[in-house]
Amino acid sequence: MTDAQFLRALESCTLSPAEFGHQGHVRAAFLCLQQGEFAEALQRVRRAIRNFATHHGSPERYHETMTVAFVALIQERMFESGVRGGWPEFAGENPQLLDAGVLGQFYTRAELESPLARSVFLLPRHAAGLTAPADLRTAASGQAAPA
């Protein structure tokens, strides 16, 4: 499937869910970043993922922090390496991006599993040694949040 066909199938929700695992998400973000600036590409990726998840009966699967973080990380790698070629070359030069666990370098598991991270973008506190918001700290400890 060509890149144009892939994006068209994703955005029209005709892509098979089996073809839209983590690597499919990274490919979509890469292709959108090739075609536009960061903000425009991010909006396009958000819309495509949300629509796809809703179309397939799982709107709750959309994750804002993972989406924004991956789009930013992909753009960073595109600028660092310079984009020589298309998706196959980029994927081959950046295999770490194809590992869904790569965000563990920037976020704790509790942060990524929180409802807050799913609904809004959280800055990566883990890598910077910053403290997580109170609701995440208490969720990780099993204690109730202070009133």
Same domain, 24 and 88: yes
What confidence tier does 19 reach under pLDDT thresholds 50, 70, 90? Answer: very high
Encode pLDDT of 92-119 as tens digits: 999 999 999 999 999 999 999 999 999 9
**Which has the higher per-residue pLDDT, 46 or 139?**
46
**Total number of domains in the chain:** 2
Is the pLDDT reported for residue 141 higher than 50? no
**Residue-range definition of the domain harbouring residue 138:** 106-147
Same domain, 85 and 34: yes
Q: What percent of the chain has pLDDT over 70?
A: 85
Is the pLDDT reported for residue 133 higher than 70? no
d(CA 41, CA 89): 20
Is the pLDDT reported for residue 3 higher than 50? yes
Is the pLDDT reported for residue 144 higher than 50? no
Encode pLDDT of 55-94 as tens digits: 999 999 999 999 999 999 999 999 998 877 899 999 999 9
Is the pLDDT reported for residue 128 higher than 90? no
pLDDT at 127: 60
d(CA 105, CA 140): 18
Closest listed residue to residue 20, CA positions, set 111, 104, 100: 100
Same domain, 93 and 130: no
Same domain, 73 and 121: no
What confidence tier does 147 reach under pLDDT thresholds 50, 70, 90? Answer: very low
Same domain, 131 and 82: no
Q: What backbone torsions phi and psi does residue 128 show, to the nearest 5 degrees?
A: -90, -5
Same domain, 76 and 144: no
* Interval 131-147 mean pLDDT: 48
Same domain, 83 and 17: yes
**Which has the higher per-residue pLDDT, 135 or 49?**
49
Same domain, 43 and 90: yes
DSSP characters over 37-81: -HHHHHHHHHHHHHHHHHHTT-GGG--HHHHHHHHHHHHHHHHHH
Same domain, 131 and 67: no
d(CA 132, CA 125): 6
